[in-house]
């Protein structure tokens, strides 16, 4: 396995000032780092457009109700305010498009500004444009909104049966989907052991450092230039063009530097539609720079599920059948609520359980819509399965590692078609488990735990999670575009349809192409994130960029070299053309890439790669100590063993793993968006939505195994979401182990001190 750069924990300071996109100078690991860490990054808010107006949105303070009146007349008095628009003032009134084919959106309109009803607290009701954000907010203060309140719905299980309907068409269950065949009740009745669990996946706020940002600039010819912090510019282009009725070439979407996305910046949101339309109609540049208060409450949330699991096994712990029922809270509108389907698909986990059935209900509630957030449906599945597996171990008095061993899908069984509809490509689950146990010093900690228990000492617990992830996306999103061009100067441009929002593409892709072409790295630049420069793209999410985007570039480079050989054969009259160290050779003659391009025209290779999902996997193990009196959880040791297939850049993947681990820790112990019975979110800022800080991150040991992806030439699977999947079950299982609280229904995330204290008392 090749090592691309020094280890992440060994970098000295840099010495030389350099330009953007030159190779990383001595001591810096990535090309992006100099500008991003010295304030020279250029984000949407840094794009200075003379005469640009700022938008502020008036947002519903009521979670659910009939919108009676929006009075914007007060704005006319406010100095610097250009205007205010409600649904009644926008003609046409744009609608948020449905993502993917879905019967759930039939008869259910998501207007960009609330028209008949408000369906979540924070929903945009009016837009105010001002000379700057201060005056726009002054204007927003003057807008009066009248709503006739209706009952709020905040729990998906309750909402499923409620008489209060969010839409006039149909009930609140927007869709019900089955994965696998229903399991006969007989199987559970006859099984020697059945364990059951009910789990809550709390809502999470994705909390990228940069909230959403959107800038629309009319081009003076009836078209629009858009800058947006986004993960999928080609999709945004397509959906905006359709909504605004613009021709393909009348719209250009660019993504500048982006301060993180984590899944929540890949859709076409109502605010984007309003800003774009106002810019076009007023023929003035308009931008919306979301602030943190909006981002926490009115942007999309992640997770949000009620789960019921039943697991049947025989006396030796062999799993016979599993049933997973999910009530997924998709929020006030169904248009982008597809993530919970991933939970159903993933419900088999790492085990060869012969019968697995998952039923997922997508339920509307009067809360902010839920959408993708790092892990997007797979953390939910891993949690449901892995907590229940530990309950089974506890019930049988079996070591949880041993129970897993008895049930893993064996290496010779791949490719393995799961009962819930996945075809796992490759895996060695037991190997990952063994490595995790040895890295943790599992036996040592079990002995320490026994000693403490014997003397009534510290509450120590050990928890495991064996997970199988899915990377690359599926169902129409498995394509990615790559192209490589050589100019007469010898400069190489790699074009990718992927879209970095912090995934190091600017460093990794040029390095990869340079290696394949055997030229110095500084010769290659990356072109992405611009729909005018890159003709096709799907984007960056689902850990797909190396697996699919990298493969597309690899194949595009192959195509370029093939084209080069063809031209050289023609020029030299010889069939024996070789390539090495940046040059073609035929007999006595040689052409560098640049020389060939100078002589025969730009040299190019292109690929639109259609891939299949890949299945990274791993095992996480945690040791915790719980303060029984106060409920504090201290993570004494955390081990992450991840198998991403072939790792192309270990430093980058290390960073991805650590970042996802921090977010997994956040879900397990700290984060959550609670709603009260009126549908009001009970957080307003980062003082109440607690994120783990650097001081909360425990000592983490990362190891890896490598089971190559048989379906790509790189051998790479996807990386980046594993920590979100592996950490929560490992931590919660560890706390359950520490307190003897496996069957405590109140042990739910986030494991706040109060939760742990109550679980400790309940288990006594």
Q: Which residues in this chain contact another protein in the complex, by CB under 8 A?
A: 133-134, 137-138, 141, 291-293, 629-630, 632, 670, 674, 682-685, 687-688, 690-693, 695-696, 750, 752-755, 757
Under DSSP, is residue 248 helix (H, G, I), strand (E, B) or coil? helix
- Residue 133 or 165: which CB sits closer to another protein? 133
Question: Could you tell me the end-to-end alpha-carbon distance of the chain, in angstroms, rounded to an integer?
Answer: 50
Rounded to the nearest whole angstrom, what is the least distance from the CB of residue 199 to another protein in the complex? 18
**How far from the centroid of its chain's Cα atoms is residue 103's Cα?**
24
Rounded to the nearest whole angstrom, what is the least distance from the CB of residue 696 to another protein in the complex? 6
User: How far is 487 from 506, CA to CA, in rounded Å?
Assistant: 19
- Residue 141 or 443: which CB sits closer to another protein? 141
Pull the structure tokens for residue 421: 């509809």
User: How far is 93 from 294, CA to CA, in rounded Å?
Assistant: 22
Rounded to the nearest whole angstrom, what is the least distance from the CB of residue 698 to another protein in the complex? 13
- Residue 521 or 696: which CB sits closer to another protein? 696
Kindly give the residue spans of alpha helices, DSSP state H, lying in 412-521. 429-440, 442-454, 505-517
DSSP state for residue 721 in the 8-state scheme: -
User: How far is 414 from 422, CA to CA, in rounded Å?
Assistant: 12
Rounded to the nearest whole angstrom, what is the least distance from the CB of residue 631 to another protein in the complex? 8
Report residue 381: phi and psi, to 5°: -70, -45
Rounded to the nearest whole angstrom, what is the least distance from the CB of residue 123 to another protein in the complex? 18
Rounded to the nearest whole angstrom, what is the least distance from the CB of residue 81 to another protein in the complex? 13
User: How far is 299 from 683, CA to CA, in rounded Å?
Assistant: 13
Pull the structure tokens for residue 61: 């303070």
- Residue 486 or 756: which CB sits closer to another protein? 756
- Residue 10 or 693: which CB sits closer to another protein? 693
Rounded to the nearest whole angstrom, what is the least distance from the CB of residue 291 to another protein in the complex? 5
User: Nearest Cα to 375, choosing from 726, 745, 744, 758?
Assistant: 726
- Residue 413 or 634: which CB sits closer to another protein? 634
Rounded to the nearest whole angstrom, what is the least distance from the CB of residue 136 to another protein in the complex? 8
Rounded to the nearest whole angstrom, what is the least distance from the CB of residue 338 to another protein in the complex? 29
* DSSP string over 73-130: GGGGGSTTEEEEEEGGG-SS--BPPPSSS-GGGTT---BSS--SEE-STT-EEEEEEE
- Residue 530 or 696: which CB sits closer to another protein? 696
CA distances from 627 to 266, 452, 457, 745 (A): 41, 13, 11, 19
User: How far is 282 from 218, CA to CA, in rounded Å?
Assistant: 9
Q: What is the 3-state secondary structure (H, E, C) of 124-175?
A: EEEEEEECCHHHHHHHHHCCEEEEEECCCCCCHHHHHHCCCCCCCCCCCEEE
- Residue 60 or 755: which CB sits closer to another protein? 755
- Residue 73 or 684: which CB sits closer to another protein? 684
* DSSP string over 405-417: HHHBPPGGG-SEE
User: How far is 378 from 401, CA to CA, in rounded Å?
Assistant: 21
Rounded to the nearest whole angstrom, what is the least distance from the CB of residue 678 to another protein in the complex? 14
- Residue 84 or 232: which CB sits closer to another protein? 84
Beta-sheet pairing, 224-228 with 251-254: parallel
User: Nearest Cα to 113, choosing from 159, 59, 167?
Assistant: 59
Overall size of the chain counted in residues: 764
Rounded to the nearest whole angstrom, what is the least distance from the CB of residue 295 to another protein in the complex? 10
- Residue 571 or 691: which CB sits closer to another protein? 691
- Residue 21 or 202: which CB sits closer to another protein? 202
Which residues in 246-352 belong to E strands, given as ranges?
A: 251-254, 286-289, 302-313, 319-331
User: How far is 733 from 619, CA to CA, in rounded Å?
Assistant: 13
Rounded to the nearest whole angstrom, what is the least distance from the CB of residue 674 to another protein in the complex? 5
Is residue 502 a contact partner of residue 259, using CB atoms and an 8 Å limit?
A: yes
């Amino acid at each position: 396995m090749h090592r691309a750069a020094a280890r992440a924990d060994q970098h000295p300071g840099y010495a030389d000032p350099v330009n953007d996109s030159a190779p990383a100078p001595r001591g810096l690991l990535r090309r992006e780092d100099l500008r991003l860490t010295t304030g020279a990054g250029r984000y949407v808010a840094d794009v200075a457009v003379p005469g640009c107006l700022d938008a502020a949105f008036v947002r519903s303070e009521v979670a659910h109700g009939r919108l009676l009146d929006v009075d914007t007349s007060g704005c006319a008095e406010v100095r610097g305010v250009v205007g205010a628009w409600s649904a009644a003032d926008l003609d046409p009134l744009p609608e948020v498009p449905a993502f993917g084919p879905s019967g759930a959106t039939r008869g259910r309109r998501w207007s960009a500004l609330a028209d008949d009803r408000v369906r979540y607290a924070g929903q945009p009701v009016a837009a105010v444009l001002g000379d700057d954000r201060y005056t726009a907010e002054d204007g927003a203060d003057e807008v009066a909104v009248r709503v006739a309140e209706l009952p709020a719905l905040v729990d998906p299980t309750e909402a499923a049966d409620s008489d209060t309907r969010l839409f006039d068409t149909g009930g609140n269950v927007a869709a019900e989907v089955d994965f696998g065949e229903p399991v006969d009740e007989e199987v559970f009745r006859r099984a020697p052991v059945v364990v059951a669990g009910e789990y809550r996946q709390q809502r999470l706020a994705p909390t990228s450092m940069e909230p959403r940002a959107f800038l629309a600039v009319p081009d003076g010819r009836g078209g629009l230039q858009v800058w947006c912090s986004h993960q999928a510019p080609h999709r945004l282009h397509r959906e905006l063009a359709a909504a605004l009725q613009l021709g393909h070439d009348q719209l250009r979407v660019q993504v500048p530097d982006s301060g993180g996305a984590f899944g929540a910046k890949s859709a076409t949101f109502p605010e984007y539609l309003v800003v774009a339309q106002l810019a076009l109609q007023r023929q003035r540049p308009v931008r919306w720079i979301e602030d943190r208060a909006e981002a926490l409450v009115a942007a999309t949330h992640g997770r949000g599920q009620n789960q019921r699991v039943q697991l049947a096994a025989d006396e030796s712990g062999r799993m016979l059948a599993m049933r997973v029922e999910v009530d997924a809270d998709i929020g006030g509108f169904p248009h982008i609520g597809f993530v919970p389907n991933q939970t159903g698909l993933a419900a088999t986990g790492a085990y060869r359980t012969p019968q697995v059935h998952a039923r997922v209900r997508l339920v509307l509630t009067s809360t902010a819509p839920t959408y993708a957030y790092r892990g997007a449906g797979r953390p939910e599945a891993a949690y449901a399965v892995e907590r229940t597996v530990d309950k089974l171990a506890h019930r049988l008095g079996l070591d949880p590692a041993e129970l897993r061993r008895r049930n893993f899908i064996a290496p010779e069984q791949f490719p393995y078609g799961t009962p819930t509809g996945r075809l796992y490509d490759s895996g060695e689950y037991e190997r990952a488990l063994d490595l995790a146990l040895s890295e943790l010093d599992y036996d040592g900690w079990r002995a320490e735990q026994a000693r403490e228990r014997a003397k009534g000492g510290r509450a120590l617990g050990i928890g495991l999670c064996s997970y199988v992830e899915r990377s690359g996306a599926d169902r129409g999103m498995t394509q990615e575009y790559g192209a490589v061009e050589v100019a007469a100067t010898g400069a190489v441009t790699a074009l990718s349809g992927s879209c970095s929002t912090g995934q190091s593409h600017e460093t990794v892709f040029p390095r990869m192409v340079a290696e394949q072409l055997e030229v110095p790295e500084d010769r290659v630049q990356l072109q992405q994130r611009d729909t005018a420069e890159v003709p096709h793209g799907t984007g960056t999410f689902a850990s797909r960029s190396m697996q699919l985007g990298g493969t597309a570039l690899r194949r595009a480079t192959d195509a370029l070299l093939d084209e080069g050989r063809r031209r050289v054969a023609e020029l030299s009259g010889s069939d024996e053309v070789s390539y090495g160290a940046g040059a073609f050779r035929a007999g006595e003659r040689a052409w560098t890439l640049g020389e060939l391009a100078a002589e025969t025209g730009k040299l190019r290779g292109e690929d639109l790669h259609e891939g299949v999902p890949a299945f990274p996997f791993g095992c996480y193990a945690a040791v915790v100590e719980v303060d029984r009196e106060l409920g504090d959880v201290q993570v004494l040791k955390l081990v992450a063993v991840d198998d991403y297939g072939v790792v192309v850049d270990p430093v980058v993947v290390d960073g991805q793993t650590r970042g996802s681990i921090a977010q997994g820790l956040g879900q397990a112990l700290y984060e959550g968006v609670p709603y009260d019975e009126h549908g009001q979110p009970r957080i307003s800022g980062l003082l109440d939505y607690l994120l783990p800080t650097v001081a909360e991150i425990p000592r983490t040991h990362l190891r890896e195994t490598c089971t190559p992806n048989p379906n790509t030439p790189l051998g790479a699977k996807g990386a980046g979401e594993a920590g979100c999947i592996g950490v929560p079950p490992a931590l919660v299982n560890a706390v359950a182990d520490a307190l003897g609280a496996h069957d405590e229904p109140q042990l739910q995330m986030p494991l706040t001190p109060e939760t742990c204290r109550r679980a400790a008392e309940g288990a006594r």
